[in-house]
Amino acid sequence: MLGVVWDDRFLNISFSHPMIRDMSKARIRKFIELARDSLSFVEIKPEQASEEVLLEVHTREYVNKLKEVSKVEHMGFLDSGDTVHYPGIFEDVLLVVGSSLTALERSKFIDQIYVPLGGFHHALPNKAMGFCPVNDVVITVKRLLNNRERVALVDVDAHHGNGVQEMLYKEKVLKINVFAYNGSFFPGTGRLEERGEGEGKGLNYNIGLPLGSGDDIFEDTLSFLDLLEDFDPSYVLVVAGVDGMIDDNLKSLNLTSWSYYSLGRKVAKIQRNLGFNVISYGGGGYGENSYLGMVGFLAGLSGVSSSIVGLKREKTSTDKDIFDEARKRMQALKKS
Ligand SMILES: [Zn+2]
């Protein structure tokens, strides 16, 4: 059964740069409209988290700062120019974190849950980064680990989930990250040699695709999800960030909704074999059609035909030199 965490307040929440805030709000609105028309799911009303929950991952100083800027009457930046703050942001942050915790709570009864406004994978313990004021993913993973669950994370987004990697690098969590990488593209982290430490040794996979990679090479990256079979998790968290789409304003990967459909389908196929719970997130997305990637992912995950949701089957193909470079990186990672 598929559940979507939804609150109408989501329509007005965005922590993105002022230039793309409207775009990111429109994505959430178009998503829920199309999802209600084309998919079947139960809507789950989120409960706001308490302030104390933030302290499970973030520092007291940083939480205090979030509270303070929330009282400021004008908009400003939490970091050096990406993540905004605005009046009332603190309540929105608590709603976002509460959405993830509500998903966790309800996952006892619903085996596939999606949080459209979630997956803030850049935030660090003491600072906001990349439109992420808080790290809802790490808060959720840590709770699962405390409950002795076996957790895997699949993070597909134009950007490397640096906050998640940093905080879970030494944890026994399988982490498969697919993102655009050239060493300088935001956030600049995610070298393939970074394979984890301590309990997490060998469990961190950074599949950094060259910018311009299309659906054809993305399909190859899905072979890394076979690692789930051996790891045999009880929970798989999926950040399905749709800012890797070809029309995205942050120009990175050339994916269509087809790739997100394939991602959902692959996760569902392995879920049928292993029987884990899925909690998934909408991640980033700043293009006209990014909502199609979100619905596409859920169609694949919940076993709805791609034709029903109007996805095109025209895959983008990758230039040969970019394709070869991506293959080379994947082979090196598989050998390491
Ligand atoms: Zn992103």
Amino acid at site 275 = G
CA 286 to ligand 1 centroid distance, Å: 9
Q: Which of 32-41, 223-232, 244-253, 265-274 has the lowest mean pLDDT?
A: 244-253
Whole-structure pTM value: 0.97
CA 87 to ligand 1 centroid distance, Å: 24
The answer, yes or no, to whether residue 310 has pLDDT greater than 90, is: no
Q: Which residues are CB-neighbours of 264 under 8 A, at least 6 positions away? A: 240, 296, 297, 298, 299, 300, 301, 302
Q: Which tens digits make up the pLDDT trace of 196-236?
A: 999 999 999 999 999 999 999 999 999 999 999 999 999 99
CA 138 to ligand 1 centroid distance, Å: 16
Exposed, middle or buried: residue 198 (CB in 10 Å: 0-12, 13-18, 19+)?
A: exposed
The answer, yes or no, to whether residue 312 has pLDDT greater than 90, is: no
The answer, yes or no, to whether residue 313 has pLDDT greater than 80, is: no
CA 187 to ligand 1 centroid distance, Å: 9
CA 158 to ligand 1 centroid distance, Å: 5
Here the CATH number for the domain that contains residue 190 is 3.40.800.20
Residues 129 and 187 sit within 8 Å (Cβ to Cβ): yes
CA 252 to ligand 1 centroid distance, Å: 10
Q: What is the pLDDT of residue 58?
A: 98
Q: Which residues are CB-neighbours of 250 under 8 A, at least 6 positions away? A: 20, 158, 243, 284, 286
CA 25 to ligand 1 centroid distance, Å: 15
CA 64 to ligand 1 centroid distance, Å: 26
Domain with 271, as residue range(s), is: 2-335
Q: Which tens digits make up the pLDDT trace of 153-204?
A: 999 999 999 999 999 999 999 999 999 999 999 999 999 999 999 999 999 9
CA 161 to ligand 1 centroid distance, Å: 8
Question: pLDDT-derived band of residue 250, with 50, 70 and 90 as boundaries?
Answer: confident
Domain count, the chain: 1
CA 279 to ligand 1 centroid distance, Å: 18
CA 105 to ligand 1 centroid distance, Å: 26
16-27 in b/e form (b: 16+ CB < 10 A) is bbeebbebbbbb
CA 83 to ligand 1 centroid distance, Å: 12
